[in-house]
Structure 1
Amino acid sequence: MLDGVHSDTEACVRAVRSRDARFDGWFFTAVVTTRVYCRPSCPVVPPKPRNMRFYPSAAAAQQAGFRACKRCRPDATPGSPQWNERADLVGRAMRLIADGVVDSGGVPALAARLGYSVRQVERALRAELGAGPLALARAQRAQTARVLIETSALSMSDVAMAAGFGSIRAFNDTVRDVFALSPTELRRRAAKPVVDRLGVLTVRLPFRAPLCPDNLFGHLAATAVPGVEEWRDGAYRRTLRLPGGPGIVSLRPLPDHIRCDLSLTDLRDLSVAISRCRRMLDLDADPVAVDEALSADRVLAPLVAKNPGRRVPRTVDGAEMAVRAVLGQQVSTKAARTHAGRLVQAHGEPVVDPVGGLTHLFPSTEALADLDPESLALPRSRRATLTGLIAALPTIDLSVGGDWESARAALAALPGIGPWTVDTIAMRALGDPDAFLPTDLGVRLAAEGLGLPASPTALTTHATAWRPWRAYAVQYLWATGDHPINLLPAG
């Protein structure tokens, strides 16, 4: 699939006529006779081509005066894979908008984070998405509001606050404009909401099929830091550091969605928490495009066919991942968890978990600033690497809107941080889909067992054909081993 697919009218018409769910989120179909916009896979009878209009975003369709289809719920599709794949201005802007930057600081805050003027950001987004940052943020608020209206027992005033609206009037007007129903009518039409228990909100996180949960949740569970993460009763649980205070999330893989149970200090953090969880689970990926590309390699093809839809397990906090990557240098997964767990107990912020064993947030960069390296049961060189990283983290942007190449260069310039650490952080913190680990022991053993070049240089040369999906190739290579990261835990 290519950028700007919405401009290829013939391809869009074919996708709509065949109800091709692979294109959901890539473009939106508006029908001029009904003034409704849909996802390509909408089950209703496709309209005549002359009555179709195609838009690159839900916000653009809404700005053109179209309402969301009540049947296919186009606002609830997985996000465009482009925003996870691309490191350019628009890709970075979209990730920051999803992370709530416009809601909390407006367009000037977004522009400042990106290092561009407000006018440049506005122009770039309108040119590619047909809508500016305010409209894109409004569309996100509308979707968050709909989720809460239909799936929670919150009052409408609490829904408005949680979705990021500045007033009840703005909330009511937006819901009516986007969905052609009042908030009360939306709730009346929905199934019986999930009753909040202990302040927990339950939402569904959609994804593009196929999805292989084994490596995704197996990796997160096998590498879980005690106190911060755990696998409990068939779900991955972890603490979240959010703008309004600590949160706890439980993520459970189900056949057609991920069940997400959230406990938040501040309801206004809901959309940010959902965005970070989606990113951590790589739910907006396009597995069909990835697997088709990797299957062109005759060695990888059988691995892809056996368990298609592998995702790249990511993180909810870039600085956390960087610290964990250094702690994991040249040690076993068990040892890395032990080191991280000790750091958490000594420097993490305590949290209360009424239903599980989570005890802390992972330590912030500020909390680690006064870390005594002598307190760490690490080799002296590793201690120096860790303290050097912690000192540099305030100047390295590892957020969702960070510049990947700048972050890579800054990390590589630090003593003790080599290619394996840089690409581990690029893969799991920055979300670079092309990050590659040719020196990783698991990757090298897999390559050797499959008859691929085993030396890092030769393997990197061979892997050129896997670009831009080398991070996904790593997941398939790791799957050839018997490491716990490849297995969905029992229970």
Structure 2
Amino acid sequence: MLGLTRTLRLAHGPGAVRLTWDGAALRLAYAGHPDDEDDAVVRVRRLVDADAPVDAVAARLGDDPHLADDVASSPGLRLPGATDTAEAAIQALVSQQISMAAAARCSAKLTEAYGERLVLPGVADGSETSVGWLFPRMEALAASDPATLPMPRARGRALVGLAGALASGALVLDPDASWPEQRVALLALPGIGPWTADVVGLRALGARDVLLGTDLAIRRQLEARGVGATAAWAPYRSYATVHLWRPYV
């Protein structure tokens, strides 16, 4: 049985969710304030893309010979989502031009330096169990010194700027708002380029029509498959992107 535990910042305090997959069903256990449980469920649904239009995606992408085999071999493929849009935006910035393993190490260092240790009743049996850390508040990252962050100086400055915009409300990331408008707002921030903005759209906001054409792995796949245009994949190019990523993850 596969399992995943995630910590959450919620309206009435910290919480945690435990997801388990037995090969047939995904189950959720929650620990935290009862009034926050509905919000936690909404966040988990976004994390696993529970409301994906799987039949429509399969019909659109499965009709294209460049993707037909991928769709057939991975029916119901979902987008990799997030439980916190601000956290996912910071992690997208951290991931610029480095491997997934290196990005995970960098995020862990940020969390240990600026986050908060969380101890809650166990999500499985009610016992008191440490479940890790809460990701740093945007205010804490905005107040950090870019020179001390575990990344190149320019990226550190961009991270502090992004965190400051999120903390102040100058930038609002909302999965239910217009993605094109939010993309423009992201690109207006120093150090945020098309790759980072589009990863934020796909992962943090669950935007369904993001083709990550600036990603080296995606470009290689498009070239190897002889794909010249992707308009026919709209409005589900995010799912095409995930299919194209699969050989590398």
**Which of 15, 38, 56 is the equivalent residue of 1:271?**
38
Q: Which residue does the alignment assign to 2:27?
A: 259
In structure 2, C-alpha distance between the alignment counterparts of 1:388 and 1:270, rounded to whole Å: 32
1:430 aligns with 2:205: yes
Residue by residue over 1:79-124, the C-alpha shift from the partner in whole angstroms, topping out at 9 and shown as x without a partner, is xxxxxxxxxxxxxxxxxxxxxxxxxxxxxxxxxxxxxxxxxxxxxx
User: 2:143–2:160: 8 Å Cα contact kept in structure 1?
Assistant: no
Q: Which residue does the alignment assign to 1:475?
A: 242
The equivalences for 1:238-253 within 5 A come to 238-253=6-21
SS of structure 2 residue aligned to 1:477: helix
In structure 2, C-alpha distance between the alignment counterparts of 1:438 and 1:304, rounded to whole Å: 19
Q: Which residue does the alignment assign to 1:403?
A: 178
Q: Which residue does the alignment assign to 2:146?
A: 373
TM-score (norm 2): 0.91
**Which of 231, 234, 248 is the equivalent residue of 1:464?**
231
Q: Which residue does the alignment assign to 2:189?
A: 414
User: 1:317–1:399: 8 Å Cα contact kept in structure 2?
Assistant: no
Q: Which has the higher strand share?
A: 2
The equivalences for 1:83-102 within 5 A come to none
Q: Post-superposition shift, 1:358?
A: 3.1
- Structure 2 residue runs of 5 or longer lacking an equivalent are 123-128
Q: Post-superposition shift, 1:318?
A: 1.0
In structure 2, C-alpha distance between the alignment counterparts of 1:328 and 1:353, rounded to whole Å: 30
- The aligned amino acid for 1:234 is L
Q: Post-superposition shift, 1:252?
A: 1.6
User: 2:62–2:68: 8 Å Cα contact kept in structure 1?
Assistant: yes
Q: Post-superposition shift, 1:449?
A: 3.0
Residue by residue over 1:377-435, the C-alpha shift from the partner in whole angstroms, topping out at 9 and shown as x without a partner, is 21121112111211222211113343323321110111211111111101111221001
Q: Post-superposition shift, 1:369?
A: 2.2
Structure with bigger RCO (C-alpha 8 Å, 6+ apart)? 2
Q: Which residue does the alignment assign to 2:64?
A: 297
TM-score (norm 1): 0.47
SS of structure 2 residue aligned to 1:358: strand
SS of structure 1 residue aligned to 2:134: coil
- The aligned amino acid for 1:376 is L
User: 2:109–2:150: 8 Å Cα contact kept in structure 1?
Assistant: no
- The aligned amino acid for 2:64 is D
RMSD: 1.7
- The aligned amino acid for 2:179 is W
Residue by residue over 1:152-196, the C-alpha shift from the partner in whole angstroms, topping out at 9 and shown as x without a partner, is xxxxxxxxxxxxxxxxxxxxxxxxxxxxxxxxxxxxxxxxxxxxx
Identity of paired residues, percent?
41
User: 1:247–1:263: 8 Å Cα contact kept in structure 2?
Assistant: yes
In structure 2, C-alpha distance between the alignment counterparts of 1:357 and 1:439, rounded to whole Å: 39
SS of structure 1 residue aligned to 2:117: coil
In structure 1, C-alpha distance between the alignment counterparts of 2:223 and 2:121, rounded to whole Å: 47
In structure 1, C-alpha distance between the alignment counterparts of 2:239 and 2:151, rounded to whole Å: 31
User: 1:397–1:403: 8 Å Cα contact kept in structure 2?
Assistant: no
In structure 2, C-alpha distance between the alignment counterparts of 1:357 and 1:340, rounded to whole Å: 19
Q: Post-superposition shift, 1:255?
A: 4.4
Q: Which residue does the alignment assign to 2:126?
A: none
Q: Post-superposition shift, 1:267?
A: 0.6
- The aligned amino acid for 1:369 is A
SS of structure 1 residue aligned to 2:209: coil
**Which of 94, 102, 113 is the equivalent residue of 1:335?**
102
The equivalences for 1:10-29 within 5 A come to none
User: 1:402–1:430: 8 Å Cα contact kept in structure 2?
Assistant: no
Moved over 4 A (4+): 353-357
The equivalences for 1:3-402 within 5 A come to 234-264=2-32, 266-352=33-119, 358-393=131-166, 394-402=169-177
User: 1:353–1:359: 8 Å Cα contact kept in structure 2?
Assistant: no
User: 2:31–2:121: 8 Å Cα contact kept in structure 1?
Assistant: no
In structure 2, C-alpha distance between the alignment counterparts of 1:267 and 1:446, rounded to whole Å: 46
Aligned in 2, Cα 1:357/1:299: closer, same or farther, shift over 3 Å? Answer: farther
User: 1:412–1:419: 8 Å Cα contact kept in structure 2?
Assistant: yes
- Structure 1 residue runs of 5 or longer lacking an equivalent are 1-232, 454-461, 484-491
